[in-house]
Chain A
Amino acid sequence: MSIARKTVLLVDDDQDFLLQQKTLLQAAGFDVAVAQGRAEAETVLQKSRPDLAVVDLMMEHMDDGFALCHEIKTNWPNVPVILVTAVARETGLEFDPNAPKGGSWIKADAMLAKPIRFEQLKREIDRLCG
């Protein structure tokens, strides 16, 4: 009997990002659930309990990622959240969420700038739910 596989929830409105990360995570031995927006992600979270969520910052609305992240941290406090964003430079959000200034309000456990390298994502996932 193998150890229980971890489930990662991927939330992004970019279907290519979803498909690629899903393929790579599955190859690395994870189960993957995907959602193309905040509402879909909520449905997934209510039905199943992922071990970790990877959430894109900007989806339909500018702050969907933040809102979802906050929601996960409120209702499912044990689910780590990795926020990814393609606009790190534009939004000035390149700070460490663990630093007192950023972490206090962002609530995410890690932040990664797009395009992300899979090794980088994998390392964060292992660190947060290994």
Chain B
Amino acid sequence: MRNMVETLRILVVDDEAGMRMGAKRALRSLRVEVPDVECEVALELDDAPSAEEAIEKIKSDSPHLLLLDYKLPGMSGLDLLDRITEMDGETLTIMITAYASLETAVTATKRGAYDFLAKPFTPQELKQVVSKAAARVVLSRQARRLAEERRLVRFQFISVLAHELKAPLAAIEGYLRIVRDRSAGDDQGAYDHMVDRSLIRLEGMRKMVTDLLDLTHIESGQKSRSLEAVELAEVVRDVLETFAPAAKQRKITVSLHTEGPLTITADRSEVEIILNNLVSNAVKYNVDGGNVDVTLKGDQESVRIEVADTGIGLSAEEAGRLFEDFVRIKNARTRNILGSGLGLSIVKKLALLYGGDVIVSSRPGEGSTFSLVLMRKVPNEGPAPADQP
């Protein structure tokens, strides 16, 4: 949102030409400051001598802000206010009352005016009132934009998810049909292989659903986190044990390097999710006979977990988008490796939750090292507000 220019159209409605000119002159030099938003507000000023002409201009230009004189020849300011409310409700009206009459101001406000200004007023008073209304227009516009962006992100997430779940479903369905119809003839080995492949794709789907639940828990902030003293080496050992069979099968050596106990305040299941994802990747994307080294280091404030593999590695471009949702690196060496594309996105979100971060250093063909830093004390209790499903 930096360096954004927000255009604000202001229509001055007054039957006195001098008032219209004066107001426009005063506003020309107005610099609108919107708190907490870095943007420039460009004002476009126009005027109308009557309510009837104002209606035409509102229809054609849809101004954001109306400086409306209460007393007008023909249709009155209050009647115009009613018309505006009927028309869209997007335009903010500042009612200019002829005298310092509280009663008129109250009536106008009740009928939908945003603010009022009593004649006679100084240019400074005018600027102040317009400034406040302008800030409000810009803020609500940005809020709307943000809501729309979130809606799009959510929509995109759901369509990618649906696509990712459809692929294994189609694969499993295809195998089931072949087995049912005995399309491979008498080749029992072929059917066994197809059943195995179906189980692998089902496992992939299960992982995707689990990851999705983890992600939803983290982002919704609903999950009740139970913070306790967690001994990291202990968790790492458990995780390494889980992946030992897969590693052994491919002759991958898995080791833990630590200089003694290292304790952090954390939700144990979250630390497990992080390590599960990193170690699982280190095994999955390794070469047969390779190494996975998990190193734990710590100081007073933070702990550092490094998971290094001797696997296929990543290019700088690939590393750059690795932590986004559903990003999977597609190339000849990864095409038969299954994954949800959510694991590292989860790791990143959890790391941020612990006031830390995760980075990757890698070279294609030489392996990757994921370095994760977590604060020993959780900075804030609740997770960040969700901006994704």
Contacts and interface: CB of A to CB of B under 8 A. Distances in A.
Interface in A23-43: 23-24, 27, 36-37, 39
Contacts of B28: none
A23 B190 contact: yes
A114 interface: yes
Contacts of A16: 171, 174-175, 197, 201
A15 interface: yes
B173 interface: yes
A16 B332 CA distance: 16
A74 B34 CA distance: 60
A83 B190 CA distance: 27
A60 interface: yes
B269 to A, nearest CB: 33
B173 A60 contact: no
Contact of A19 (B166, B170, B185, B194): B194
Interface string A3-17: 000000000011111
Nearest to B191: A23
Interface string A85-120: 011001000000000000000000000001100000
Interface size, B (range): 20 to 34
Nearest to A15: B336
Nearest to B198: A16
Contacts of B190: 23
B interface secondary structure, majority: helix
B175 A20 contact: yes
A60 B175 contact: no
A37 B336 contact: no
Contacts of A19: 193-194, 197
B180 interface: no
Contacts of B170: 114-115
A36 B193 CA distance: 18
Nearest to B178: A23
Contact of B335 (A23, A37, A61, A115): A37
A36 B330 CA distance: 12
The 6 closest A-B pairs by CB, nearest first: A115-B170, A16-B171, A20-B174, A13-B335, A27-B183, A23-B184
Interface of B: 159, 163, 166-167, 170-171, 173-175, 178, 183-185, 190, 193-194, 197, 201, 330-332, 335-336
Given A20-B171, A114-B170, A115-B174, 19 more contacts: A13-B335, A14-B167, A15-B336, A16-B171, A16-B174, A16-B175, A16-B201, A19-B193, A20-B175, A23-B184, A24-B178, A27-B183, A36-B332, A60-B330, A86-B163, A86-B166, A90-B163, A115-B166, A115-B173
